[in-house]
Amino acid sequence: MELNFTLNGVPISCSLPRGSELLLDVLRGPLEQTGTKEGCGKGECGACTILVEGRMVNACLTLAAEVEGCEVTTIEGLAAGGSELAAEQRAFVEQGGIQCGFCSPGMIMSVRALLDRDPDPPEAEIRRALAGNLCRCTGYSQIVEAVRRAAELRREEAR
Amino acid sequence: MSSYHRPPSVAEALRLKRELPGSSFIAGGTDLLVQMKDRVRQPTALISIRHLSELTRIETDGGARLGAATPLSDLADDSALMTGWPILGEALRDFASVQIRGSATIGGNLCNGSPAADAAPALIVLGARVRIAGLDGERLLPVEQLFEAPGRTRVREEELLVSIELDPPLPSGHGVFLKKMRTAMDVSLASIASLALLRDGRLEEIRLAAGSVAPVPMRLHETEKVLRDRPLTPERIAEARRVARDEVRPITDIRAGADYRRHIVGVFVQRALEATLEKGDR
């Protein structure tokens, strides 16, 4: 079957030979968008978090066919206009919210969704929002700091 | 390897299900796709129902009707539902993760038949029913009777759970409580839901249900028996705690031992009853 959706603002048409392909496999395979990572493959680690219609989903547990007609955003599409990093990405770099970096794309997508919903979330809310994104390196403290910083940067940008 | 189908209506979905032997309905997919990866289930075809508007509506008009394919986060975001039946909000709190709650559906959570289904004890004490559609028509079944065994419900192969139906919110004076021991992403170790009406110091109405402590989410009938129509006293609460401990049938697994789960059930029952006492007479 034929799948049509919008990926990071670009209209995409691709074929799904079986019909039941996972969105993560289609993104990383034929569409060559490897920023989205596969960790556990079972919806537990959140490394594959992307936004579908602005909503956080695990791409490893989403059938590609289900995003027909939808707006999909991945880490590749986070920074407006290409090369520059988005506020969330800059904050993670500044605050050391990354070590090995494998969880970062999914983590940062969750932060985008969180800050779109609540521009100044308290710490408990930050931790709750990131419960589905596991990091084995940082111990999360720097990540929470990075989210606070990202919120600041976004508010500055909005001014 | 499964083919994918997106029928335009429930009627069409049911027809497809009959036409495609070995097929499975799929809604949020957060349990089914994991089972497929683990090769626990290998459906020949996937019949997607998450786009059907008749299955994703939340209607609150006196009672409530929750479309079975409504994502859990949509339920939690529905203010009329959360105001009228706050115990559902408690049940959904800290359920898995934001990602999972946005995809996983209320009907899927029930149909998956997990002994730990977080919503089940709350729905049981609320007296909720599920509406099940088949090619020959629909039937209603109390949630309390839905579960048969771990991973198995009374929804038959060619049927589809289409909605969950709730009676109007309880008149004031009823105390409704939910306690669960879980952290996000993990599975609940034990959970208790209770609904109580205290009048003149006596428990006129009491419903207790537990999750994660038996092969299926269960109603605690024995515990209710020692409480119903009797004065609610600290001694009675202590007795209920003992009966509840003995009534549940937990297993030992990697998350907790059976003894510990029994202990927790007793403690939760005690806390629910103490909260009822504290709230006082209507």
Alpha-carbon span A82 to B70, nearest angstrom: 36
Does residue A138 sit at the B interface (CB-CB below 8 Å)? no
Residue B178 has pLDDT above 90, yes or no: no
Annotation: CATH topology of A2-77 = Ubiquitin-like (UB roll) (3.10.20)
User: Which token pair is B272?
Assistant: 């629910």
Asked whether the beta carbons of residue B4 and residue A1 sit closer than 8 angstroms, the reply is yes
Q: What Rg, from alpha-carbon coordinates, does chain A have?
A: 15
pLDDT of B282: 53
Tell me the β-bridge partners of B105. B71
Does residue A70 sit at the B interface (CB-CB below 8 Å)? no
Residue B75 has pLDDT above 90, yes or no: yes
Residue B67 has pLDDT above 70, yes or no: yes
Asked whether the beta carbons of residue A20 and residue B94 sit closer than 8 angstroms, the reply is no
More confident residue, B280 or A63: A63
Q: Name the residue of chain A whose CA is nearest to B4's CA.
A: A19
Quote the strand ranges of B95-217, DSSP E.
Answer: 129-134, 137-142, 147-149, 152-153, 160-166, 174-181, 190-199, 202-211
pLDDT over 70, % of chain B: 96
pLDDT of A26: 98
Domain with CATH 3.10.20.30 in chain A: 2-77
pLDDT of B281: 64
**Mean pLDDT over the full length of chain B:** 91
Residue B128 has pLDDT above 60, yes or no: yes
pLDDT of B206: 93
Continuous segment of H or E residues that includes residue B121: helix B119-125
pLDDT of B62: 93
pLDDT of B171: 77
Q: Which long-range contacts (CB under 8 A, 24 or more apart) does B225-231 make?
A: B227/B203, B227/B273, B228/B203, B229/B202, B229/B203, B229/B204, B230/B202, B230/B203, B231/B201, B231/B202, B231/B203
Residue B173 has pLDDT above 90, yes or no: no
CB atoms within 10 A of CB B247: 24
Q: Are B269 and B218 in contact (CB under 8 A)?
A: no
More confident residue, B91 or A70: A70
pLDDT of B113: 86
Asked whether the beta carbons of residue B98 and residue A42 sit closer than 8 angstroms, the reply is no
Which CATH architecture is the domain A87-158 placed in? Orthogonal Bundle (1.10)
Question: Is residue B1 exposed (0-12), middle (13-18) or buried (19+ Cβ within 10 Å)?
Answer: exposed
Task: Give pLDDT tens digits for B18-42.
Answer: 999 999 999 999 999 999 999 999 9
SS3 labels along B63-98: EEEEECCCEHHHHHCCHHHHHHCHHHHHHHCCCCCH
Q: Name the residue of chain B whose CA is nearest to A56's CA.
A: B99
Contacts of A63 in chain B (CB under 8 A): 4, 26, 29, 33, 46, 48
Interface of B with A in 71-100 (CB under 8 A): 94, 96-100
Q: Sign of torsion, CA A155 A133 B30 A125?
A: negative
pLDDT of B93: 80
Residue B232 has pLDDT above 60, yes or no: yes
Contacts of A49 in chain B (CB under 8 A): 99
Q: Name the residue of chain A whose CA is nearest to B38's CA.
A: A42
User: Which of A1, A57, A66 is opposite residue B99, by nearest beta carbon?
Assistant: A57
Tell me the pLDDT band of B213, cut-offs 50, 70 and 90.
Answer: confident
The residue among B92, B112, B114, B110 whose CA lies nearest residue B102 is: B92
DSSP type of residue B55: G
Residue B256 has pLDDT above 90, yes or no: no
Domain with CATH 1.10.150.120 in chain A: 87-158
Alpha-carbon span A108 to A91, nearest angstrom: 10
Tell me the pLDDT band of B183, cut-offs 50, 70 and 90.
Answer: low
- Diameter of chain A by CA atoms? 48
Residue B180 has pLDDT above 90, yes or no: no
Asked whether the beta carbons of residue B34 and residue A42 sit closer than 8 angstroms, the reply is yes
Q: What are phi and psi of B219, to 5 degrees?
A: -85, 140
Alpha-carbon span A67 to B107, nearest angstrom: 21
Residues of chain A with pLDDT under 70: 82-83
| Residue B72 vs residues B69, B92, B107, B119, B215: alpha-carbon distances, Å | 9, 7, 9, 10, 23
Contacts of A61 in chain B (CB under 8 A): 29-30, 33-34, 103
Q: Are B201 and B234 in contact (CB under 8 A)?
A: no
Domains of chain B: 3-166 (3.30.465.10), 174-279 (3.30.390.50)
Residue B244 has pLDDT above 90, yes or no: yes
Alpha-carbon span A51 to B211, nearest angstrom: 32
pLDDT over 90, % of chain B: 70
